[in-house]
Amino acid sequence: MIGGLDTLLEGVLLGGVYALFAVGLSLIFGIMRLVNLAHGDIIVLAAYLILTAMAAAGVSLGVATALTILVMFVAGFALQRLVLERVLGDDILPPLLVTFGLSIVLQNGLLLVFGADSRRLQAGAFEATSINLAPGLSVGLAPLIALVTAVVVVTLLQLLFYRTSLGRAFRATADNPEIAQLMGIDQRNIYAFAVGLSLAVSAIAAVTFGIRSNFDPSIGPARLLYAFEAVIIGGLGSLWGTLAGGIVLGLAQTIGGRIDPEWQILSGHIAFLIVLILRPRGLFPAGRR
């Protein structure tokens, strides 16, 4: 037996972190059809920013996270208006090359500033706390909070998209950017907001991840791949699908890891390839488009 219930639970909780990785990627692609190859490195950047805020300003993890979310939102807005806006268009090559270049710049920039040592976000007692769900079945508080956070973030985003005027503007722009302009929607600001939102969510992902795992400047690309796999497994066009995709990926990796620790990451890739073969549109694709 591969450990049964607690393996499943661990997989689901890991999935919460992967879902948070994936939401930022999914957001930008859904609204702007842009894939940000620097996405993983941006999550790592956020983790380092939180670390720095705690070390330099002496603030608690919560405050550092809030500050970082704000900074990342602004950075995303600027990234779109100053850089990405210039290369968005029918040709998909320039945005891919620019974001790939950005990935290289971020990785090496972080390496120069922080060095290659592994770091961890200190959450104090929070990290080690466990909750007893049932006799013999306990979960770490931090991983549980990660999953809960993922659900909360997706819920809030859904509310934004489906119950607000701004959300309507996002969806209209995603459908038809040219006609959306006829509604008085300034595309540039919509896109900038979307990228800002994506980076802000990545900051949230960074804190849930950085508490439970070590990070260093080189781990960005792997986060991008997990985010991507979660999106594809879940299916395009639906944030709940992305959440589900993250959980499936988390389960695949955890179960694979129980069989053989060296196979953990490879199991995720295999699960991704299987979904691509059997269900190319993902497990829970959105109906339209």
Partner 1 sequence: MKPERPPIVWRVQSATKLSRIAGVAAAVIVPLLFLVPAVASRNLLQDLIFVFTMLALAQLWNVLAGWGGLISVGQQAFVGVGAYALFAGVTLAGLDPLLAILAAGCLAALVAAVLGPLMFRLEGPYFAIGSWVVAEALRLGCAQFKPLGGGTGMSLSSGALASMTETKSVATLFDIRTAAARDVIVYWIALLLVIVITFAIYVFVRSRLGLGLAASRDNNAAARSVGVRTDRIRYWLWVIVAFATGMVGALVYLQKARISPDAAFSVVDWTAYVLFVVVIGGVRTIEGPMVGVLVFWALQYNLSGYGSLYLLVLGLIAILVMLFMQRGIWGSMAARWNWQLFAVRKLLTRDDS
Partner 2 sequence: MTALVNVRALDAFYGDFQALFGINLELQPGETVAIIGANGAGKSTLLKSLAGLVRNRPDAIKLNGRDIGDAPAASIVRRGLALVPEGRQLFPSLSVEENLLIGGYGDRRRAPWNLQAVYDVFPVLRERRSSDVTILSGGQQQMVAIGRALMSNPSILLCDEISLGLAPIIVEEIYRTIPLIRANGASIVIVEQDVARALRHCDRFYCLQEGRVTLAGRPSEVDQEAVRMAYFGT
Residues that bind partner 2 (CB under 8 A): 165, 168-169, 171-172, 174-176, 178-187, 288-289
Residue 214 CA to residue 246 CA, distance in Å, equals: 20
């896109």: which residue's tokens? Answer: 191
Q: What element of type H or E holds 131?
A: strand 130-134
Tokens read off for 278: 């059997």
DSSP 8-state symbol, 215: B
The binder of 97, among partner 2, partner 1, none, by C-beta within 5 to 8 A per type, is partner 1
Residue 120 CA to residue 122 CA, distance in Å, equals: 6
Nearer residue to partner 2 within complex by CB, 46 or 197? 197
The helix/strand/coil state of 133 is strand
Decide: residue 127, CB within 10 A, 0-12 exposed, 13-18 middle, 19+ buried.
middle
Q: Do residues 31 and 237 touch, judged by C-beta distance below 8 A?
A: no
The residue range among 58-66, 167-175, 247-255, 268-276 that interacts with partner 1, by the rule CB under 8 A, is 268-276
Nearer residue to partner 1 within complex by CB, 167 or 221? 221
CB of 180 to partner 1, least distance (A): 21
Q: What is the CA radius of gyration of the chain?
A: 19
Q: Do residues 233 and 272 touch, judged by C-beta distance below 8 A?
A: yes
CB of 93 to partner 1, least distance (A): 6
The binder of 165, among partner 1, partner 2, none, by C-beta within 5 to 8 A per type, is partner 2
The binder of 169, among partner 1, partner 2, none, by C-beta within 5 to 8 A per type, is partner 2
CB of 252 to partner 1, least distance (A): 13
CB of 97 to partner 2, least distance (A): 24
CB of 17 to partner 2, least distance (A): 29
Nearer residue to partner 1 within complex by CB, 66 or 87? 87
Residue 137 CA to residue 6 CA, distance in Å, equals: 7
By CB under 8 A, name the binding residues for partner 1. 29, 33-35, 37, 83, 86-87, 92-98, 100-105, 107-109, 111-112, 221-222, 224-225, 228-229, 232, 262-263, 265-266, 269-270, 272-273, 276-277, 280
